Structure 1
Amino acid sequence: MEEFTKEELAKFNGKDGAKCYIAYQGKVYDVTESMLWDDGDHQGMHEAGIDLTEEMDDSPHDDDVMEEITVVGTLID
């Protein structure tokens, strides 16, 4: 499993052919194939390539939505 800094994670923003990764509670998830993350944008509310831990508090999703997404690494400081 790969480790990502926030700077490295930012490169996976889903733009210009880049993979689309998000972080949540220390894990990095690959949402590249999700139709809900088109070009690194999640319904105009969130951008890929960032840690969404704090933003999930305002989300209509529960933590269990993350269980369906492939984990590709961990987020490190």
Structure 2
Amino acid sequence: MKTYSRQQLALRNGQDKPEIWVAYQGIIYDVTQSRLWKNGKHYEHWAGQDLTDELQDAPHTANVFLKFEKVGILTN
């Protein structure tokens, strides 16, 4: 799987590039087709970021990522 830096992930925010990506536990997911991520925003969360630390406050589990395509690995 291809690797991406945090800077590359940040560009996939639904504004700078058409892709809408988020990372969770080092894996980058493509959420472009999700109606819940329209324009790169999902409630108070923004795309192009690592959401690992934010999931604990979400009303859902990490299983939500199972429905999205894995597009890469996040590097530091």
- TM-score normalized by structure 1? 0.92
Higher-helix-fraction structure: 2
- In structure 2, relative to structure 1, the CA distance for the partners of 1:26 and 1:17 (3 Å cut) is closer
Aligned residues: 76
Offset of residue 18 of structure 1? 2.0
CA-atom RMSD, angstroms? 1.1
1:27 and 1:16 mapped to 2: Cα distance?
Answer: 21
Paired residues for 1:14-29 under 5 Å: 14-15=14-15, 17-29=17-29
Give runs of aligned pairs for residues 47-58 of structure 1, distance below 5 A: 47-58=46-57
Any gaps of 5 or more consecutive residues in structure 1? none
Alignment gaps of 5+ in structure 2: none
CA contact (8 A) 2:11 2:17 kept: no
Task: Give aligned-pair identity as a percent.
Answer: 43
Q: After TM superposition, give the deviation of residue 16 of structure 1 in Å.
A: 5.2
